[in-house]
Structure 1
Amino acid sequence: MLSGKRIFITGATGFIGSKLSGKLVEKNQVYALVRPESLVKTDDLRQQGIKIVTGDLLDVESYAAALDEMDYVFHLAALFKTEAPKLKLYRHNVFAVEKLLEVCRGKNIKKIIFFSTAYVAGRNEKEGITEDEPLPERFKNWYEWSKAEAEKRVLYFCKKYNLPVIIVRPVIVYGHGSFYGFYDAIRLIYKKKLWAVPGDGKNTIHLVHVDDVVNAAAYLAQSENTSGEVFHIADDYPVACDELIAMICSGLGIKPPRFKIPRAIVKIIGALPGSKYIFGGASKELLDYFLYSQSYSNGKLKSRGFVFKNPSAHQPLMRILKNFRL
């Protein structure tokens, strides 16, 4: 665990970022870059002793001076909307990263930890996808594409300017305090709006607890010989879609959907105007994560000595569902 360091973090008001900053501030000085419109979300951060830097990634003058004496940078800020348009995602998830890296070039940063997503694998349905797999040409949505483009920029800066960067790729993250992503799927099931299983239900979905994401990122930050490396953060056991839905229903105390809709039909329905209302408000981008099978190898991370606190999602997820509220 890092100790006695000065750490700069973006995305600290988000789900993972808030957990990470809370962990790091226990033994370090943590500075969080927060946009003016998000200052209302900083009470918890301030109470933990986290110092707020008001600014925007696209406005380098608002935070460049704050990086002068920083040891580590954790970059989590991103537009996390799978249905967002390409240009908007490019601006927030690619161009903003370039701006941050340019500023870091002129500083004495020991390591930059860039948060990507394992879903830069796109439609690759190979079992146990490793970090060595080349990035695909096609993606399920523009969000995945934007994170893949950002990875290219990160590795470019690492190779050309010897910038000490690590890329971490979490799978679908769950845990207390999440209000987007996986939470949206649970909400659909809880409100009984997911009346059928999209696809045959046999495709795998890979999860990881937020505590393991935070611990892995902090662990890699202090590890040797990690610059320019990419690491998947995923638990040991991908879960079949129908099993996961049944698990969620069991935890919520409701009956699971009785029907399954073939993937091809779901894709056709998803292309129709107003189609998301057929599945209780689920966008076609969200439905894609029920349709495509993806599992990832965590062998590289474990080979560095990292031990997962939650190697399986079953028990921690059931505890979360027991107290689930909309």
Structure 2
Amino acid sequence: MSDSIVLGAAGFIGRAVVAHLLTQGGSVIAAVRPGSEQRLTTWLHAQAVDQTGLSVVSCDVTAKDLGLPTDLDAADVRDVYNCAARFAFGLGKDDAYAVNVTGALNVLDWAAALPGLRRVVHITGYRITVEDSAEQNYATGAYGASKFESDPLLRLRAAERGIPLTIANPSSVLGRGQYVGLASIVDDLWHGRLAAIPGGRETFLPIVDLDYFAAFLTELPKQADTAGRSFTVLDPRTPVLPELIRLLAGHMGVRAPRFSIPVGVIEKLPRALTGADPETLPFIADDRYDTAAADEVAHKAGLAMPDSETVLRAWADHLVSSRFGAVEADPTAGFVDGIWVSGDRTQPAYVLLHGLPVDSDSWTEVRKALEAPSLVADLPGLGRSAPGEIDEVLPRLMSTARSRPVLVGHSLGCGPVLKYAAAHPDRISGVVLVSPAFLQPRSSRVLGSPLAAVALRRMSAAALATRLGIPAGAAVDSAAANLRRPGVAVRTVAALRRASAPARRNELAELLAGIDVPVRIVVGAEDPLAVAVPPEVVVIEGTGHYPQLTHPAQVAAEIAQVGVRAVGASAR
């Protein structure tokens, strides 16, 4: 027996609705496309949602019976949430119509037979409230056209059959897993492809937070006066598009376009020149929307909409972490004053800085092996971080740390580690230097004398792995992707040159000699030190300049030994 059924339950919005219903103590039938069952349950598990009241079944809304199991007991279902939709640009007419029109009507007809039906909640888009014939043209966009076509048909069918229907019209719903719509503009901004801001000074692309919207949907059936009505759900405090782009650019540490280009001009220019999808253009408008009815529902339910700028920043962090949907996102990663960080920012046992030309993802396997809270960052100007002074990264990271971590640096990252350790020995427990470039022959380092930035930027991940003599994998993929962004390859080569300067090498050697905390040096047998040094040196056989990538467990074990010694020393 179940209180609710959610159609499209494995989708971006559907799974959030399922989570909210389960958290409220309800019993839920989650209807998903065949093959999506595990995707939903895995996501719910990651959100720590109790799945005791959950039943997962397969469905196909394009079928008259919704393709539900013949033995499904839906007699106790009171609320039906139709989150099943084809939301994408570039859809074919038949594909969009089958789900967004026929499927939506099928859901109504199926729900009409439920003996205890309280409400059908259907989701469409906020542009439905704007009269714009361009959006109803299948030639210019099947998604928008199918949504426009379905809206009056659903209202009519509900009225004819006496179905208590409520329609929610959200704007762009932002949250983890949203890679459509506004995400394409953020993608272009991050990769330096956004030459101009589309629209004008008053262009308004409103947003709404995913968790807020899911909570709003689950409240609709509880308020009797919402039946037969529609509600535009968006945050009117969303910055106008030029300000929104500047906000995200500042957060991500990239340059925002200075100029705007009207939609009318974009429409007349070749798509190959503008890169604009014609289907997105109707959404780039100056219209404003009446949210009074939705605000009243939220007020009665005690729902507070989160700050739009906070939502935008968190979403941008997710987009960058997931490489815009290409990989699994790191939920702890994000920008802090332009620096890309990941991990525990208050109680790290280890803080690790990368070398060249990799980024903080090069520590992923070491961090797993350490089995203790850790914090990593992309050095300023490198990887995903905004330009800045490399030696300033640790003072910024340590400003929020309440622990005394072991500092770990690889190659170039050894410099800021030594600088901080010399200045603040009381704030740390020890130092580990992995392949410290300043102690190795200048000609022995993997990148050689210096690799041209243009060549570095054009390298595929496979070519980069071959060049560095390391196995292909997620760390190399991340490095290659970051090097292709404007300016990163140039700054990487410049950082290599600065680190190779005799003055810098001598400075770090002097700092090392005077360090007053436990120090360990780890090198690969194929990448030895040029000079003997007092600290303990551990040599790992069968590897070169990147032992953290080739032998992560061994490197982690050596790092942990410094942590153990530091704990023992403090206990004494």
Give the TM-score category using the shorter length. 0.7 to 0.9
Tell me which residue corresponds to 2:226.
Answer: 226
CA distance 1:207–1:247, shift in 2 (3 Å): same
Q: 1: distance between equivalents of 2:240 and 2:83?
A: 28
Question: How far, CA to CA, are the matches of 2:41 and 2:216 in structure 1?
Answer: 26
2:283 to 280, 284, 289: 289
The more displaced of 182-191 and 41-50 is: 41-50
Q: Deviation of residue 149 (structure 1)?
A: 2.1
Match of 2:84 in 1: 77
Shift of 1:221: 1.7
For residue 29 of structure 2, what is the amino acid of its counterpart? Answer: Y
1:235 corresponds to which residue?
A: 235
**TM-score w.r.t. length of structure 1:** 0.85
Secondary structure, in 3 states, of the residue corresponding to 1:62?
A: coil
Contact 1:234 1:297 in 2 (8 A): no
Of 312-321 and 135-144, deviating more is: 135-144
Output aligned runs, 1:1-326, within 5 Å.
Answer: 6-26=3-23, 27-44=25-42, 47=45, 48=49, 49=51, 50-59=54-63, 60=65, 62-63=67-68, 65=70, 66=72, 67-108=74-115, 109-121=117-129, 124=130, 137-139=133-135, 141-269=141-269, 272=270, 275=271, 277-280=272-275, 282-290=276-284, 292-304=285-297, 305-310=300-305, 312-322=307-317, 324-325=320-321, 326=323
| Unaligned stretches of 5+ residues in structure 2 | 324-572
Deviates more, 1:61-70 or 1:149-158: 61-70
CA-CA distance at 1:308 after TM superposition: 4.7
Q: Distance in 2 between matches of 1:114 and 1:211?
A: 17
Deviation by residue 1:18-68 (Cα, 9 ceiling, x = unmatched): 111111112111111111143452332574423211121123162275333
Partner secondary structure for residue 225 of structure 1? helix
Contact 2:127 2:283 in 1 (8 A): no
Q: Check whether the contact 1:201–1:241 (CA below 8 A) recurs between aligned residues.
A: yes
Report the alpha carbon displacement of residue 138 of structure 1 after superposing the two structures with TM.
Answer: 4.0
For 2:21 and 2:306, locate their aligned partners in 1 and report how far apart those are by CA, in whole Å: 22
Structure 1 distance, partners of 2:282, 2:158, is 33
What's the TM-score once normalised by structure 2's chain length? 0.50
Q: Which runs of 5+ in 1 are unaligned?
A: 125-134
Structure 1 residues 308, 46: CA separation in 2 closer, same or farther (over 3 Å shift)?
closer
Q: Which residue in the other structure is 1:132 paired with? A: none
Query: Which secondary structure state, in structure 2, belongs to the residue aligned with residue 278 of structure 1?
Result: helix
- Cα distance in 2 for residues equivalent to 1:231 and 1:166: 8
Q: Which moved more, 1:252-261 or 1:159-168?
A: 252-261
| Code of the aligned partner of 1:266 | I
Q: Which has the larger radius of gyration?
A: 2
2:160 match: secondary structure = helix
CA contact (8 A) 2:2 2:76 kept: no
Bigger relative contact order, structure 1 or 2, given CA contacts below 8 A and separation 6+? Answer: 1
The equivalent of 2:407 in structure 1 is none
C-alpha spacing 1:261/1:136, structure 2 compared with 1 (3 Å): closer
Kindly tell me: are residues 51 and 183 of structure 1, through their superposed partners in 2, closer, same or farther at Cα, counting changes over 3 Å? farther
Check 1:68–1:58 CA distance in 2 against 1; reply closer, same or farther (3 A cut).
farther
Q: Deviation per CA, 1:85-114, whole angstroms, max 9, x where unpaired?
A: 323211110001111211112112211100
Q: Secondary structure at the match of 1:192?
A: coil
Letter of the aligned partner of 1:28 in structure 2?
G
Counterpart of 1:285 in structure 2: which amino acid? E
Whole-Å separation in 2 of the counterparts to 1:188 and 1:309: 32
Q: Which sits farther off after the overlay, 211-220 or 194-203? A: 194-203
CA distance 1:203–1:136, change in 2 (3 Å): closer
Secondary structure of 2:194 counterpart: coil
- The aligned amino acid for 1:294 is D
Residue 171 of structure 1 aligns with an amino acid whose one-letter code is S
State the alpha-carbon separation in 2 of the partners of residues 63 and 57 from structure 1: 9
Q: Secondary structure of the equivalent of 2:180?
A: coil
Q: Deviations 1:107-130 (Å, cap 9, x if unpaired)? A: 122111001111113xx4xxxxxx
2:122 match: secondary structure:
strand
Give the secondary structure class of the aligned counterpart of 1:239. Answer: coil
Equivalent-residue separation in structure 2 for 1:262 and 1:148 (angstroms): 25
Q: Which amino acid aligns with 1:9?
A: V
Report the Cα offset of residue 148 of structure 1: 2.3
Cα pair 1:194 1:279 within 8 Å, conserved: no
Contact 2:58–2:69 (CA under 8 A) maintained in structure 1 = no
